Amino acid sequence: MENVSNIVLNVTGVEKTFGGLQALSNINLQIEEGKTHAIIGPNGAGKSTLLNVCVGRLAPDSGTVMLGDETLTGKMPYEINQLGVARVFQTPEIFPELTLMENVLIPALAKRDGQFKFNPFKSLLGDKKIHDEAMSVLEDLGLQDQAQRNAASMSRGDKRRVELAMCLVQSPKLLLLDEPTAGMSRHDTNQTIEILQQIKKRGMTKVIIEHDMHVVFSLADHVSVLAQGAIIAEGTPEEIRGNPKVQEAYLGGAHL
């Protein structure tokens, strides 16, 4: 425990039941700064529940979630975001009626203005700094040419990139990705992996929930395996690959 200061997200003893169903039991997770941490597990293992507990959508029955020194449990999603947690959804959650530029401007404004700022007489167009900020993120993701395009008209892969841009513009302490390649073509998936690898180079801490082992093994530094609401194994991708317990419970002996 000598490197406590390096732990970004600290989940301790989180329990959650729905009705009689134990969705999460005694979850403990430490995620180190700069690392990409993957959480894998079969359907219904509780991955999404865990993520929702982390972002404040669900309140755990017991246990705490800490971001650095801040307690996240009991906070609203917007408060948690303001503390530095950004999230990418399983199906892209963007602002379909707005342009890409506006999609990215909004989180940039959230970062700058906080959870509420009443500035109805300030000109947005006159604010060059924030436009530049947004544009540079769009450029990073190769979307600069489409900045004035309506988000609704983009392909699913591009929407995912927009959502990533929306998260990145906030330079969060922690980025949570819920199956970022779900439902994507092989091409789009590879593209996404590439982008995520780029981000990795920036040293951003990430938690990825993923099904696709290809994605997990190309990105993750560390893997936790969730089954029936409990963590059954933890380790580097290689360790997990070789862990018979994991193969039994989750992979069902399938090839890796």
Interface residues toward other proteins, by CB under 8 A: 55, 76-79, 81-82, 86-87, 89, 93-99, 102, 105-107, 109-111, 113-128, 148-150, 153, 166, 170
Identity of the residue, 75 or 222, whose beta carbon is nearer to other proteins in the bound complex? 75
For residue 86, the minimal CB distance to other proteins (Å) is: 8
Identity of the residue, 89 or 217, whose beta carbon is nearer to other proteins in the bound complex? 89
For residue 116, the minimal CB distance to other proteins (Å) is: 4
Identity of the residue, 105 or 233, whose beta carbon is nearer to other proteins in the bound complex? 105
Amino acid, single-letter form, for residue 144: Q
Task: Name the token pair of 66.
Answer: 């800490």
Task: Name the token pair of 212.
Answer: 């696709």
Nearest to 157 by CA among 88, 204, 104: 88
- Give 158-224 as a 3 state SS string: HHHHHHHHHHHCCCCCEEEEECCCCCCCHHHHHHHHHHHHHHHHHCCEEEEECCCHHHHHHHCCEEE
For residue 196, the minimal CB distance to other proteins (Å) is: 19
Nearest to 14 by CA among 26, 6, 2, 30: 26
Nearest to 107 by CA among 150, 46, 170: 170
Identity of the residue, 164 or 251, whose beta carbon is nearer to other proteins in the bound complex? 164
Whole-angstrom Cα distance, residue 120 to residue 115? 15
For residue 75, the minimal CB distance to other proteins (Å) is: 11
Identity of the residue, 22 or 82, whose beta carbon is nearer to other proteins in the bound complex? 82
Backbone phi, psi, residue 196, to 5°: -65, -35
For residue 115, the minimal CB distance to other proteins (Å) is: 4
Identity of the residue, 28 or 91, whose beta carbon is nearer to other proteins in the bound complex? 91
For residue 99, the minimal CB distance to other proteins (Å) is: 6
